Amino acid sequence: MASGSWEEFFAVHLPPTDFEDNRSLLKEFCERHDQYGNKIVLVTSGGTTVPLEHNTVRFVDNFSAGTRGAASAEYFLEHGYAVIFMHRQKSLEPFTRNFTGQKLFDMLDLQDRGPNTTITVKQDSVFVLAPVLQRYQAAHAAGALLHVAFTSVSEYFWLLRAACELLARTGPRALLYLAAAVSDFYVPKDRVPTHKMQSASGPPVIQLHLVPKMLAPLVNLWVPEAYVVSFKLETDENLLIPKARAALEKYKHKMVVANMLQTRHQRVILVTPDANQEIVLSREEVHAGIDIEGVIVSDIVRAHGAHMGCGAPPSCAR
Ligand code: PAZ
């Protein structure tokens, strides 16, 4: 089934209830960093949901944990960027991503002395925690990191458009790093029941529709001078590069980071109009806990630098 237009999508799906609050946060962040001529990156991260009921009990989801986006945000901060971290609620976040599950509790010692009880970090964990905590505190002290969260695909699009429109005045200093796993399919608002579906009504027939492609208005209208990087995930290697290249040709943005589901944390290919550049971590690097995002971000920062150096409207770097 053909997708409706992006204008129709925004006309039918109302903004989320916290939209104006998030928009104000984004506006303040962009204006403050713009004033100092800082580079600003919008990192999108995690998966979107597709609600099956208005009072949502069930939804369609995807696999993304937000590892890529959370790690990348940290590396962009290291490169001096102001970072808008637009992420799926409860997905991984920069810095805390390193201490998920029981890891943090395992690093602590409890001295139970009644009212004088203390909690300390175990000596061998100090060296693990301290550098991350230092970077976390530095980012926050500098006001260099803003979190905004979405859950559903329509919340994602509302936030994405607002962030892009506010980044438009940042011109070529804006970088978009669209790593979120955004649903290609959704159930239009008028086909979604208000209340929880009842099994007594029999098995539901759910028809998914195509989500309109937002990359076209994003590149051409919302943030035309930015350096835009999209991501392409596939499970069939034969489709990976052809689809990444087709996206570049269609939307005329700057780069597609192509990755396979199974190997996404060890191998990616940076696809640009001129080249396919493969980045692969060795087995030793993987065991040593090296993040592939450090390499991806360094390469993109370099390309973004060249784009800014070009100092001209989008046609220059295309
Ligand atoms: O979030 P994660 O680290 O588990 O996975 C990252 C990723 C595979 C979602 C990302 O690299 C990506 O390819 N995002 C775009 C997916 C797509 O819509 O094709």
Q: How do residues 212-233 score in pLDDT, each as one tens digit?
A: 999 999 999 999 999 999 999 9
Has residue 311 got a pLDDT over 60? no
Q: How far is the CA of 264 from the centre of ligand 1 (A)?
A: 8
Give this prediction's pTM: 0.95
| pLDDT value, residue 314 | 42
Mean pLDDT of 1-28: 92
**Ligand 1 atom 16 nearest Cα:** 181
Long-range pairs of 247-254 with CB within 8 A, sequence gap ≥ 24: 247/215, 248/272, 248/273, 250/216, 251/213, 251/215, 251/216, 251/219, 252/219, 252/318, 253/215, 253/219, 253/228, 253/229, 254/227, 254/228, 254/229, 254/303, 254/307, 254/317, 254/318
| Paired strand residues for 84 | 42, 146
Mean pLDDT of 180-184: 98
Mean pLDDT of 261-282: 97
| pLDDT value, residue 1 | 52
Confidence of residue 318 (pLDDT cuts 50, 70, 90): very low
Q: How far is the CA of 61 from the centre of ligand 1 (A)?
A: 13
Catalogue all structural domains in the chain, each as residue range(s) with its CATH number: 6-317 (3.40.50.10300)
Instruction: Please name the residue ranges forming H helices in the chain.
Output: 6-12, 19-35, 67-78, 103-106, 123-141, 153-167, 215-217, 237-251, 283-287, 292-310
| pLDDT value, residue 4 | 86
Q: How far is the CA of 255 from the centre of ligand 1 (A)?
A: 15
Confidence of residue 160 (pLDDT cuts 50, 70, 90): very high
| pLDDT value, residue 312 | 43
The two three-digit tokens of residue 5, written as one number? 């237009």
Mean pLDDT of 241-260: 98
Looking at every residue in the chain, the average pLDDT score rounds to: 95
**Of 60, 65, 40, whose CA–CA distance to 50 is shortest?**
60
Has residue 313 got a pLDDT over 80? no
Mean pLDDT of 162-180: 98
3-state secondary structure of 11: helix
Mean pLDDT of 56-80: 97
Asked whether the beta carbons of 229 and 254 are under 8 A apart, the reply is yes
